[in-house]
Amino acid sequence: MIAVPAPSPHPSPTLPPLPHLPELPTGPMRSVALVTSAVAALVLLTAAYLATCRIWPYANCGRCNGSGKSRSPSRKAFRNCKRCKGTGRRERTGTKFLNRHKTH
Ligand SMILES: [Zn+2]
């Protein structure tokens, strides 16, 4: 009696099994699912960042570190920081984005 190996109905030697990602489909649909979840995560992160920009719209001015003063070399006299005009703050990138897309 000769043992003949049963032919596999769907031979796929190029695709190894993915034991740690069982919920994702295999083949081209797998990359689509990966891109979709990556885009969803990016949208969520951006929404969270814009929400913090709405609550805390400003950050410290990078030149004067939030003091609003540009000190003289003697450290006794100062003038208004040129970059922030003495306010000591700058608008965050997300704040500029929100202001640009304001509806009113
Ligand atoms: Zn400044």
Residue count of the chain, please give it. Answer: 104
- Return the pLDDT at 47: 97
Radius of gyration (C-alpha) of the chain in whole angstroms? 29
Q: Report how far ligand 1's centroid is from the alpha carbon of 23 (Å).
A: 51
Q: Report how far ligand 1's centroid is from the alpha carbon of 47 (Å).
A: 28
Q: Report how far ligand 1's centroid is from the alpha carbon of 67 (Å).
A: 7
Cα(80)–Cα(88) distance, rounded to whole angstroms?
Answer: 9
How far is CA 42 from each of CA 45, 72, 93, 96, 103, rounded to the nearest angstrom?
Answer: 5, 44, 16, 19, 24
14 class by beta-carbon count within 10 Å (0-12 exposed, 13-18 middle, 19+ buried): exposed
Q: Report how far ligand 1's centroid is from the alpha carbon of 18 (Å).
A: 53
Q: Report how far ligand 1's centroid is from the alpha carbon of 37 (Å).
A: 40
- Return the pLDDT at 102: 80
- Return the pLDDT at 3: 67
pLDDT per position in the chain (104 positions), as tens? 666 666 656 655 676 666 665 666 778 888 999 999 999 999 999 999 999 999 999 999 999 999 999 999 999 999 999 999 999 999 999 999 999 988 66
Considering the entire predicted model, what is its pTM? 0.58
Q: Report how far ligand 1's centroid is from the alpha carbon of 71 (Å).
A: 11
